[in-house]
Amino acid sequence: MKLPIKRLLLTFGLLLLAFLAVFLYINLHNPRDPLPETDQRAGMEADHLSRPWWEATTVYQVYPRSFQDSNGDGVGDIPGIISRLDHIRGLGFETIWFSPFFQSPQEDFGYDVSDYRSIAPEYGTMADVDSLIAQMHRRGMKAVFDLVLNHTSDEHPWFKESRASRDNPRANWYVWRDGQKGGPPNNWHNALGSGGWHYAPERGQWYYAAFLPFQPDLNWRNPEVKQAMFDMMRFWLDKGVDGFRLDIFNFIYEDELFRDNPRTLRYLPGPDMQKMNGQHRLHTLNHPQNAVLARELRDLLAEYGAPERFLVGEAFGRHPQLRRLLGDSADGLNLVFLFEMTHTLRWDAVFFREGIRTYEAFYPYPYSPTWVFSNHDGPRSITRLGDDEQKARLLALMQFTLRGVPFTYQGEEIGMRSGNIPLGQALDPLPAAIDYIPDFIRNSGLVFNRDNCRTPMQWGPGPNAGFTLPEARPWLPVQDNAAAAINVQAQEQAEGSLLHTYRKLLALRRQSLPLQWGSLQLLEGKDIPKDVLAYRRTYKKQVVEVYVNFGPEPVGLSAEGEGLLSVGEARLEGGRLQLGGLGGIVAGFELSE
């Protein structure tokens, strides 16, 4: 009898190991889509005079609550932003994207809008916004506002009316559904992997919220909702806004049949966010109707003629899904944020070479990649690079010389670090919203407190770093490192600072047709050392080449042209390039006839 029991235990153990292996593979493997073939010919670039401004722009993101407080209440505001416009323009940025400052109960700090046509009083007034737009245009800058189209606050008058009964004029303005067997209508999760349905006793139905419970989803299948939102966008376009950043754009439409999402063994979220916590979000994420809406929004902006307004969407998915939002004929959103390299940032040449190859394959001209390494939702890039300022310089070198539109988050130009505010002290509502995650995982660092990338901008070394009055209490604590060199004032006075690197790179970009409008070709082969990333930007007969040494040791290689800008140790003479460890250079030349 003992032998069969041993065999049974052995069989069970092998099956368990096989299951664990499959489970780990499903949760850790992130398949890559095959790269499409492209036909991009260097020297055949479209004339820049016929192309829209946004293709060559550089974007600086302002998180208003943390940028500059003008009245001492500890909260950044619009007059404070106006007072700092010359800092942004002086760096060389042409466009500013503002996180929301609309009327809001601030449960998600502006991403829960209660009135799209009013300004939250802590930020200022409508007159302040009008002044902001005018001041930016006077400086030759573009203003991009952040719009949350997917949902409103549950404090919005539309939702209050919709929730009150099943037969009021706005009863069908949100996603409502009867429950099943005393529970929710179906198994849909929200973006965070927890239940997306919430019961409203006032009307005895459930409403769907793709993000947090106080952010009910609008019903975009209702023509009245679509018209109201389009009119709201026209309101801001009429005021002179130059474009919009669209929050969680690929969550807007859900399956109109309300079918259950399929189950999956995937629990860890992948880069595309399509599968997590045991659910494949087939019916709630990347619905085909989102691409139709993208084209409709592009048509709406086209009503305003030249100069063209533009749209950039926050979206999560595989590259073919993201590409569809841009339109088969580049007639959808102008841009989508590409987070693949943001979320998996790794310091080696292979990582960047393959990332560039992927972006170039999926977003060839007339499409354009976006280059974003930090924002208001994730750890700062320099922190993910081990707080290494030289690596941050080289990251900026690449961001401003690659083909596409770079987006820089406030404070990146001085190397602001992620803060260290514990989860238990978070004002950010996300940590509390994912309470289904075990504490040992929550406390391991895998759950990010977004407060830590939203600490106040560090303008100087004094009390509160110049963000607010010395005696005021900022809404989030100022980082202690502001007293050292991680502030604007100190770096303005230090010629070799990260801030000056940003300024020089942006100045070079503005002066270079290849860097603004050129095609891109990776330079590869046995002549390129393994730790060196090299690529060429070509516009007509003008050429710029970029070389970055990711390794700690010096390298030498052949290269053409003359040095235009170097970061770290780099010397180009007589067709020979010497790159120091963590060194980079931009070189330029003209092709002969």
| Overall domain count for the chain | 2
Q: Are residues 491 and 534 in the same domain?
A: no
In angstroms, the Cα distances linking 67 to 90, 98, 129, 144, 478 are 16, 10, 15, 16, 11
Q: For residues 477 and 367, state if they share a domain.
A: yes
| One domain, residues 442 and 558 | no
Residues 498 and 531 both lie in one domain: no
Residues 225 and 247 sit within 8 Å (Cβ to Cβ): no
**In whole angstroms, what is the distance from residue 238 CA to residue 230 CA?**
12
Same domain, 463 and 576: no
Clarify whether residues 490 and 558 are in a common domain.
no
- Is 232 contained in some domain? yes
- 538 and 500 in one domain? no
For 579, the 3-state DSSP assignment is strand
Q: Is the pTM of this model over 0.75?
A: yes
Residues 386-410, buried b or exposed e (16+ Cβ, 10 A)? eeebbbbbbbbbbbbbbbbbbbbbb
* 357 lies in the same domain as 390: yes
| Any domain includes 452 | yes
Whether residue 527 lies inside any domain: the answer is yes
Euclidean distance between CA atoms 584 and 252, whole angstroms? 42
Q: Give the end of a domain, one of 505, 538, 553.
A: 505
Q: Which domain holds residue 545?
A: 520-590
Do 302 and 383 belong to one domain?
A: yes
Note whether residue 284 is domain-resident.
yes
Per-residue tokens: 61: 């993101």
Q: Which of 502, 459, 510, 500 is nearest to 482 (CA)?
A: 459
Is 110 within the bounds of a domain? Answer: yes
Find the catalytic residue in 122, 247, 254, 428: 247
Residue 268 lies in a domain: yes
In this structure, what CATH number is given to the domain that contains residue 104?
A: 3.20.20.80
Last residue of a domain, one of 456, 478, 505: 505
Domain presence at residue 391: yes
The CATH number for 557's domain is 2.60.40.1180
Same domain, 473 and 542: no
Which of 442, 477, 505 is a domain's end point?
505
Which DSSP category does 189 fall into? B
Structural contact between residues 546 and 583, judged by C-beta atoms closer than 8 angstroms? no
Q: Is 122 a catalytic residue?
A: no
| C-alpha torsion sign, points 491, 492, 494, 499 | positive
Taking only the tens of pLDDT, the chain with its 593 residues reads 466 888 888 888 888 888 889 888 889 888 888 999 887 777 788 999 999 999 999 999 999 999 999 999 999 999 999 999 999 999 999 999 999 999 999 999 999 999 999 999 999 999 999 999 999 999 999 999 999 999 999 999 999 999 999 999 999 999 999 999 999 999 999 999 999 999 999 999 999 999 999 999 999 999 999 999 999 999 999 999 999 999 999 999 999 999 999 999 999 888 888 999 999 999 999 999 999 999 999 999 999 999 999 999 999 999 999 999 999 999 999 999 999 999 899 999 999 999 999 999 999 999 999 999 999 999 999 999 999 999 999 999 999 999 999 999 999 999 999 999 999 899 999 998 887 777 666 666 667 899 999 999 999 999 999 999 999 999 999 999 998 899 999 999 999 999 999 999 999 999 999 999 999 999 999 899 999 999 999 999 999 999 999 999 999 999 999 999 999 999 999 999 999 999 999 999 999 86
Residue 356 located in a structural domain? yes
Residue 388 catalytic? no
Pair 272, 322 in one domain: yes
Residues 496 and 528 in one domain: no
